[in-house]
Structure formats: structure tokens, C-alpha cells
Amino acid sequence: MSDTATAHNEEEDSHAGLVVENKKLLMWLFLGSDCMFFGTLISTHLIYRKLYPQSYDPLVVFDLELTSFSTFILLMSSFLMALAVSAMHKGQLKSFRRNVLGVIFFGLIFLSCQVYEFAHFTNEGLTLSTNTFGSTFYLMTGTHGVHVAIGIFWLLCLYFYSHTGKMDAHESAIDVEVAGLYWHFVDIVWIVIFTAVYLIEYIPGF
């Protein structure tokens, strides 16, 4: 009674047919939940901003050039992520590794910009306790930063795992794809934050 090499594939048992693969569906559900999560954080920021427009002038500390740069970096990292997923689907491990490394690298740049920004803002007097603006701003962008950091860590794990010889197109494409979904989501959230938190300050009357 020996079991075969494909034994650990969960979908072996026949059933009504997958609507969306298990892991992917799980990630979509998680992202749906995370959507509500970030939505609540961003809404809180927008509501308080509307309530107390005079409480703090973020234009004093905001540096649109830097933030635009980091946003662009994150967008590019998403592009590289898409390439990495595609590479994995085709079983091209080397290409996958290159691209994943690129995502990690760009993600780290983004995080560095965030860290720098936080330090700079704090120096200029915008802290967690600075009325409601500081509270909502830091919690929201900080939570996003933690999501990015978790993503980077995840991708690092995938990168190192790819060297163990246990990854191949058939088995691991879904794992990479799921990581890709997460990364794209984190990126999209940032676009929303960038618009609703940074850009909005530059539009008079909003």
C-alpha cells in the first residue's frame, strides 16, 4: 500500500468541480475582509478630516514628490510581481527568482520611504497624538506598511524556498499566484490611500 507522489494534492478527491481553486478563493475572501478593514481605516481618516479641517495642515509636512516616487515604486513592484507569477506558471524558476527579488527590492525601497516619511513627520511635529489627524494618518499608513512588510517577508520565504528544488510549475504556481494577489491588493490599497489622503490635500475645497 504505497502512496503515490501526488498524494498531498488536496483536490484529488473528485467533487462538483472547483468554482475557484481553494487557495485562491481563500485569498479572495481574505482580501474582501481586508478591503472592509482598510475601508474603515480610510473612512475614519476622511470623516475626521472633514470634521476638523483646521486642526492640522498636512501640507506643512507632506512631500508630494517623495510620496509620488514611492507610489510609483510600489506600482512597478506590482508589475514585477505579475512577471514573477507568469514565470512560475511557465516553470521558469530563474526568471521567477529574478522578478521576485525585484519585487522585494522595490518593496523595501517603498518601506524605507515610509520610514523616512514617518521620521520626518514626527520631527516636524505630527505624531500619533497630534489630534485626530496624526492618529488616523499613522494608524492607516502604518497598517498598510505592516501589510507590505508581511508581503516582503512572504516573498522572501518563497524566494528561498525556490532554491530548495521543491518548487515547480505544477505545484507552486498557485502559491505564487496567491502571493501575487495579496501583493496587488496591498498596492491597490496604497493607490487609494495616496489619493484619499495625500492628493486630496492638494485639491482646494475638498
Partner 1 sequence: MSHTDTEILPPETTYAGKTLLLKPERSRLGFVRPDHNKSVIIDWITTVDHKKIGLMYGAIALFFLLVGGVEALIIRTQLAIPENDLVSAERYNQLFTMHGTTMIFLAIMPLNAAFFNFLVPLQIGARDVAFPRINSFSLWGFVAGAIVINFGWLLQALEVMGLLEAAGATAGHTDFVPAMGWFGYAPLTHTDFTGAGTDFWIMGLQILGIASLSAAMNFIVTIVNMRAPGMKMMRMPVFTWMTLIVSLLIVFAFPAITVALGQLMFDRCFGTNFFVVAGGGQPILWQHLFWIFGHPEVYILVLPAMGIISETLPAFSKKPLFGYSIVVFSGAVIGFLGFAVWSHHMFTTGLGKVATAAFSLLTMAIAVPTGVKIFNWVGTLWGGRVRFSAPMIFSLGFVWMFMIGGFSGIMHSSAPANAQQQDSYFVIAHFHYIAIGGIFLAVVAGIYFWLPKMIGKMWKGNLSTWVAIFSVVGLNVTFFPMHFLGLLGMPRRTHTYLAGFGWETYNLVCTIGAYILAFGVLLLLIDIVRCFRSGEPAGDDPWDARTLEWATSSPPKVYNFARTPIIAARDALWEHKYGPESRRITYEDDHGHGIHMPSQSWMPFVASAGFIPLGLGVSLMQAGIPYMGYVAIFGLLVISLGIILWAIEGPGGYHLHPDEDAT
Tally of CB atoms within 10 A around 84: 28
Binding flag, residue 171, partner 1 (CB under 8 A): yes
- Is residue 33 within the footprint of partner 1 (CB under 8 A)? yes
- Rounded to the nearest whole angstrom, what is the least distance from the CB of residue 38 to partner 1 in the complex? 8
Helix axes of 64-89 and 93-123: crossing angle, nearest 10 degrees: 160
Residue 195 interacts with partner 1 (CB under 8 A): yes or no: no
- 185 burial level (CB within 10 Å; 0-12, 13-18, 19+): buried
Q: How far is the CB of 75 from partner 1 (least distance, A)?
A: 25
8 binds partner 1 (CB under 8 A): yes
> How far is CA 189 from each of CA 24, 116, 127, 185, 202, rounded to the nearest angstrom?
19, 20, 23, 6, 20
Residue 146 interacts with partner 1 (CB under 8 A)? no
Residue 105 corresponds to which cell in the numbers above?
527590492
Closer CB to partner 1, residue 14 or residue 94?
Answer: 14
**Can you point out the beta strands (E) in 80-127?**
none
Q: Which of the ranges 57-65, 102-110, 138-146, 195-203 carries the binding residues for partner 1, by CB under 8 A? A: 138-146
Helices 22-51 + 131-161 axis angle, to 10:
160
Q: Is 10 in the site for partner 1 (CB under 8 A)?
A: yes
Nearer to partner 1, 1 or 203 (CB): 1
For residue 171 the three cell numbers come to 505545484
Residues that bind partner 1 (CB under 8 A): 1-3, 5, 7-10, 12-22, 25-26, 29-30, 32-34, 36-37, 39-41, 44, 47-48, 51-52, 55, 128-129, 131-132, 134-136, 138-139, 143, 157, 161, 166, 171
